[in-house]
């Protein structure tokens, strides 16, 4: 059973499950777990790991249209290297500051693999769920897609997975990869979208999978135009041809917001956001399914 199947199982047991975060009396809560083998490629700095791990939880808060308040992290490693620990906290603190939240600590433990569990909290008077999309709404995406796909390519180019010596590592390439891995959680954009969006989630599992999850929750379909999908310049630098669209659609881990907005609110929403908001298609009736340029879009993406 993969993560998605497990979540489906738990949704039948937990009433609050199913969105990017749980909501309790206006308090938005979310938690994530990241592992070195699956989430931090060789060459990922501890600063980047702290930023990315905490940022992933802040992105869930953003996807609910909530104001981010604070975050904590449980840090586990085979040993506590002082420089690595301080770098991790530095990254966690800086990503919180980027969205006007506060990193307030956490827990430490020994573990045979570097592992991080993060929790973020926020507040929202009227959180945006995944279940409100209506036929005729427009589908929008913040920022660009493919940053993380490009970063992984650069990590693979910059360092060998077998633990190469320093003189075998391309430091400049790794620095660029780490920079791409440090995404900005779209909390500000989520706050702008909150009064207008009918459904919203983040793109951590990829655009294709996000559309399928929104369609399932909202009982709708989507018609997307490939040329409107915002592709990151960094991905264009490392991939070409059909591979670009494939990675933009399915790689995931970009933590952009995917939302549906009534056409009447679109212009005001785009004018108020501090990041590019691309219209990539429209919400359709459920019988129409999910398509890109008229072709069926498979439910593929990041699976834990």
Residue list, annotated binding site for substrate: 39, 253
CA distances from 182 to 10, 56, 100, 202 (A): 31, 10, 16, 16
Which residues sit in the known binding site for Mg(2+)? 20, 30-32, 60, 107, 202, 205
Q: At what angle do helices 46-63 and 82-98 cross, to 10 degrees?
A: 30
Binding residue ranges for ATP:
106-107, 130, 204
Rg (CA), the chain: 19
Specify the length of the chain in residues: 304
**Angstrom distance (rounded) from CA 157 to CA 165:** 14
Query: Binding site: what residues are annotated?
Result: 20, 30-32, 39, 60, 106-107, 130, 202, 204-205, 253
Contacts of 163 (CB under 8 A, 6+ apart): 42
Cα torsion angle, 152, 154, 157, 160, sign: negative
Decide: 54 and 60 in contact? Cβ < 8 Å: no
**Cβ atoms of residues 17 and 11 within 8 Å:** yes
């Amino acid at each position: 059973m993969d993560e998605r199947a497990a979540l489906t199982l738990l949704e039948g047991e937990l009433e609050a499950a199913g969105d990017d975060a749980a909501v309790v009396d206006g308090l938005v809560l979310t938690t994530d777990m990241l592992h070195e083998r699956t989430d931090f490629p060789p060459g990922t700095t501890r600063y980047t790991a702290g930023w990315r791990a905490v940022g992933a939880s802040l992105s869930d808060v953003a996807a609910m249209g909530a104001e981010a308040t604070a975050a904590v992290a449980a840090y586990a490693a085979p040993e506590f290297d002082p420089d690595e620990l301080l770098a991790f906290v530095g990254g966690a603190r800086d990503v919180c500051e980027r969205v006007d939240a506060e990193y307030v600590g956490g827990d430490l433990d020994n573990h045979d693999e570097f592992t991080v569990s993060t929790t973020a909290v926020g507040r929202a008077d009227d959180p945006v769920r995944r279940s409100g999309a209506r036929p005729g709404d427009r589908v929008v995406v913040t920022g660009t897609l493919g940053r993380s796909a490009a970063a992984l390519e650069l990590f693979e180019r910059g360092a060998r997975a077998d633990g190469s010596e320093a003189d075998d590592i391309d430091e400049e390439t790794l620095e660029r990869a780490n920079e791409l891995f440090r995404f900005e959680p779209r909390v500000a954009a989520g706050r702008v979208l909150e009064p207008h969006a009918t459904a919203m989630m983040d793109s951590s599992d990829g655009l294709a999978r996000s559309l399928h999850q929104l369609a399932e929750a909202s009982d709708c379909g989507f018609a997307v135009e490939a040329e409107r999908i915002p592709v990151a310049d960094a991905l264009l630098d490392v991939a070409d041809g059909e591979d670009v669209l494939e990675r933009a659609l399915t790689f995931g881990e970009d933590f952009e917001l995917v939302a549906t907005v009534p056409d009447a609110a679109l212009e005001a929403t785009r004018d108020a956001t501090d990041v590019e908001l691309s219209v990539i298609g429209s919400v359709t009736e459920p019988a129409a399914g999910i398509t890109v340029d008229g072709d069926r879009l498979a439910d593929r993406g990041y699976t834990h």
